[in-house]
């Protein structure tokens, strides 16, 4: 019976899982994760990215991701699994980041020396030693130039699924072309992190899938082809440097001789990689329209399947391709787990103490709001980092803990209204979804049932399930997506967290306060004092969730 490997190269870590699937049984037989900072300290990353004096410039070394893959394959080789059964593998990667490869890259991938790690052999085949990643927000000028060149934000959003966003790959490529012309000229192929790692495994250039391709501001969502006006407006000669776009179920090739010999692995099928959010859509079982998932990873994201692309007229969210061939709506926040960590660390708390402080404070925080923009924020766009507090003392530990969690959940709820989903059930995933006290705030804010998953990393699970799906298709079979995810990517019924109706009503009121504070902080509205007063009058102070 076949085994399927899923890999997830996220912002801070690399994770792998192996599925053992036959007609009657589906098991996860291997799960492992490594943190880049700890496992590969020589690359000098912090939280997976390179420190930089300018907070808007965020980059990571692609050779580090290659070496992480190598360490993970070594773990897999030592797992005791019968790896001759490994039929196919696929992957998930943080979205938007771009890798600049020289013409020698595929020769380098084919001729890797099995005695050395890949990272130490790839440097010469990269036109730039660093990749901009999704946390980068340094391309506002390039976004404006791209927008103007294609006839405005609406035109760009209608065709590509999103208005111009700083982290999206088209504006990032334009910045490289403008600021590093020599590196751009010596670039033969620009990969996303997903297609770069698939290429490295196959030993030749892999395509980009529509899920990750739609995070570039360059792809026509209706045709899954590059959109010439956007490509031409981004950088000269770019069309020749972009990989082709192929369906997510494409078999890219077989595992190259390097990986086979170095780790004793079989010539398994390599299935096109995708972005972490499209993979997580599968890994949270969202193969039908209706429910949403919230991922509390390094980024916080909210997403759900869409049968037809309904682009956000307000310009907040994105429409991406889904691995099913349909679409997905998504809103992304950069101040996710790292913002929660900032508050936790400011008061020297453990996660346990953080949760206790959250549980011991009254929901609604008496109308006090913390806008947690510790780093530049994506939603709403905030270029100058810094937390904004309304009525909240920066030294009040418990107040700030509740403040960060409530503001994040209120922002997730408000800024996903464009998707038009009446949220009744939420599939919670990502590292912080292990924290049920945070999930109670989520349930109360949304007025929805929240469920957890057995598997911590649903992007990784989704990648493994995509490998399974593509392998069945490649063997001439057919399988419905509902059958792909059955028994694997299902929320655990016993984990259900129910909303409290009174607290939900209170959060509907607090939503107005949050909106007023946000408008004020963005320079679009007056002081929110009146909104806070109105909230306090209407909502008698609530009891803490643990009292
Ligand atoms: P990514 O895949 O984006 O790298 P993960 O989904 O693995 O990130 O999430 C990692 C984050 O999860 C950590 O940065 C940490 O802040 C958060 N986390 C882990 N455990 C808890 C917890 N008990 N409560 C809140 N957050 C947690
Ligand atoms: C989505 C986004 C992040 C990254 C990293 O648009 O930027 O969610 O994919 O997880």
Q: Is the pLDDT score of 450 beyond 60?
A: yes
Ligand 2 in contact with 332 (CB < 6 A)?
A: yes
C-alpha radius of gyration, the chain, whole number: 23
Measured at the alpha carbon of residue 476, what is the angle toward residues 471 and 478, in degrees to the nearest 5?
Answer: 75
C-alpha distances out from residue 106 to 88, 102, 111, 308, 412, Å: 21, 9, 9, 37, 41
CA-135 nearest atom, ligand 2: 7
In this prediction, residue 90 carries a pLDDT of 98
As beta bridge partners, residue 388 has: 371
Looking at the CA of 434, name the nearest ligand. Answer: 1
Q: Is the pLDDT score of 517 beyond 90?
A: yes
As beta bridge partners, residue 508 has: none
Buried b (16+ CB within 10 A) or exposed e, 477-516: eeeebeebbeebbebeeebebebbeebbebbebbbbbbbb
pLDDT (tens digit per residue) in 353-405: 999 999 999 999 999 999 999 999 999 999 999 999 999 999 999 999 999 99
Mutate to test the pocket of ligand 1, among 34, 297, 333, 337 (most ligand atoms within 8 A of CB): 337
Distance 132 CA to ligand 2 centre (A): 13
Residue range 194-215: mean pLDDT, rounded: 98
Ligand 2 in contact with 506 (CB < 6 A)?
A: no
Question: For residue 245, what are the contacts with CB-CB under 8 A and spacing of at least 6?
Answer: 207, 208, 209, 210, 213, 219, 224, 225, 226
Looking at the CA of 336, name the nearest ligand. Answer: 1
Split at pLDDT 50, 70, 90, the class of 542 is low
Ligand 2 in contact with 299 (CB < 6 A)?
A: yes
8 A C-beta contact, residue 90 and residue 463: yes
Distance 297 CA to ligand 2 centre (A): 9
Rounded to whole angstroms, the Cα distance separating 466 from 240 reads 29
CA-429 nearest atom, ligand 1: 6
**Secondary structure in 3-state letters for 205-230:** CCCECHHHHCCCCCEECCCCEECHHH
In this prediction, residue 540 carries a pLDDT of 72
pTM tops 0.85: yes
In this prediction, residue 541 carries a pLDDT of 64
pLDDT (tens digit per residue) in 32-86: 999 999 999 999 999 999 999 999 999 999 999 999 999 999 999 999 999 999 9
Other beta carbons less than 10 A from residue 353's beta carbon: 15
Closest CA to 509 of 373, 343, 367: 367
pLDDT (tens digit per residue) in 254-298: 999 999 999 999 999 999 999 999 999 999 999 999 899 999 999
Q: Is the pLDDT score of 409 beyond 90?
A: yes
3-state secondary structure of 149: helix
In this prediction, residue 295 carries a pLDDT of 97
Per-chain mean pLDDT for the chain: 96
What is the sign of the dihedral through the CA atoms of 475, 481, 482 and 484?
positive
Ligand 2 in contact with 94 (CB < 6 A)?
A: yes
Distance 14 CA to ligand 1 centre (A): 13
Distance 314 CA to ligand 1 centre (A): 30
Residue of the CA atom closest to atom 5 of ligand 2: 94
In this prediction, residue 323 carries a pLDDT of 98
Residue range 211-233: mean pLDDT, rounded: 98
CA-93 nearest atom, ligand 2: 9
Closest CA to 186 of 126, 243, 133: 126
8 A C-beta contact, residue 33 and residue 14: yes
Rounded to whole angstroms, the Cα distance separating 437 from 400 reads 15
Residue of the CA atom closest to atom 14 of ligand 1: 337
Residue of the CA atom closest to atom 8 of ligand 2: 299
Ligand 1 in contact with 283 (CB < 6 A)?
A: no
Looking at the CA of 300, name the nearest ligand. Answer: 2
Ligand 1 in contact with 429 (CB < 6 A)?
A: no
Q: Is the pLDDT score of 170 beyond 80?
A: yes
Other beta carbons less than 10 A from residue 237's beta carbon: 12
Question: For residue 477, what are the contacts with CB-CB under 8 A and spacing of at least 6?
Answer: none
Distance 431 CA to ligand 2 centre (A): 14
Q: Is the pLDDT score of 545 beyond 80?
A: no
Distance 6 CA to ligand 2 centre (A): 18
In this prediction, residue 547 carries a pLDDT of 44
In this prediction, residue 23 carries a pLDDT of 80
Question: For residue 177, what are the contacts with CB-CB under 8 A and spacing of at least 6?
Answer: 184, 234, 235, 236, 238
Rounded to whole angstroms, the Cα distance separating 134 from 335 reads 12
């Amino acid at each position: 019976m076949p085994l399927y490997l899923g890999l997830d190269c996220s912002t801070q870590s690399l994770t792998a899982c192996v599925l053992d699937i036959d007609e009657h049984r589906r098991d996860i037989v291997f799960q492992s994760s490594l943190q880049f900072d700890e496992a590969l300290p020589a690359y000098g990353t912090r939280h997976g990215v390179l420190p930089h004096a300018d907070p808007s410039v965020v980059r990571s070394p692609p050779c580090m991701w290659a070496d992480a893959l190598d360490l993970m394959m070594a773990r897999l080789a030592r797992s005791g699994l019968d790896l001759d059964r490994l039929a196919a593998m696929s992957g998930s990667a943080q979205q938007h980041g771009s890798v600049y490869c020289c013409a020698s890259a595929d020769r380098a991938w084919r001729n890797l020396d099995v005695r050395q790690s890949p990272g130490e052999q790839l440097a010469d085949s990269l036109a730039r030693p660093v990749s901009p990643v999704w946390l980068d927000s340094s391309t506002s000028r390039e976004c404006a130039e791209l927008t103007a060149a294609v006839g405005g934000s609406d035109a760009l959003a209608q065709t590509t699924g999103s208005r111009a966003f700083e982290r999206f790959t088209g504006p990032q490529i334009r910045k490289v072309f403008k600021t590093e012309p020599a590196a751009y000229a010596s670039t033969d192929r620009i990969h996303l992190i997903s297609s770069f790692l698939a290429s490295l495994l196959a030993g030749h250039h892999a395509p980009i899938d529509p899920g990750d391709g739609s995070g570039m501001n360059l792809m026509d969502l209706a045709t899954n082809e590059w959109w010439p006006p956007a490509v031409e407006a981004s950088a000269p000669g770019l069309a020749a440097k972009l990989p082709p776009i192929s369906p997510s179920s494409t078999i890219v090739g077989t595992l190259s001789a390097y990986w086979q010999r170095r780790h004793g692995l079989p010539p398994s099928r390599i299935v096109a990689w995708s972005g972490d959010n499209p993979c997580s859509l599968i890994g949270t079982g969202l193969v039908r329209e209706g429910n949403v998932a919230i991922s509390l990873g390094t980024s916080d994201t909210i997403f759900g399947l869409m049968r037809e692309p309904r682009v956000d007229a307000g310009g907040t969210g994105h429409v991406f391709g889904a691995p099913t061939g349909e679409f997905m709506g998504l809103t992304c926040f950069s101040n996710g787990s790292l913002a929660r960590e900032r508050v936790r660390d400011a008061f020297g708390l453990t996660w346990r103490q953080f949760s206790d402080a959250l549980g011991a404070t009254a929901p609604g925080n008496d109308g006090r709001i913390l806008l947690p923009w510790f780093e530049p924020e994506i939603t709403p766009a905030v270029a100058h980092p810094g937390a904004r507090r309304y009525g909240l003392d920066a030294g009040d530990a418990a107040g700030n803990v509740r403040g960060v969690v409530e503001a994040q959940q209120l922002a997730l709820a408000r800024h996903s209204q464009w998707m038009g989903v009446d949220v009744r059930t939420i599939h919670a995933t990502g590292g912080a979804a292990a924290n049920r006290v945070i999930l109670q705030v989520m349930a109360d804010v949304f007025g929805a049932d929240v469920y957890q998953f057995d598997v911590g990393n649903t992007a990784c699970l989704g990648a493994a399930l995509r490998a399974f799906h593509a392998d069945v298709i490649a063997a001439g079979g057919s399988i419905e997506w509902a059958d792909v995810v059955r028994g694997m990517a299902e929320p655990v019924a016993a984990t259900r967290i129910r909303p409290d109706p009174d607290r939900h009503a209170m959060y509907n009121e607090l939503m107005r306060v949050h909106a007023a504070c946000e408008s004020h902080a963005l320079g679009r509205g007056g002081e929110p004092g009146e909104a806070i007063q109105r909230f306090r009058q209407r909502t008698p102070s609530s009891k803490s969730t643990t009292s």
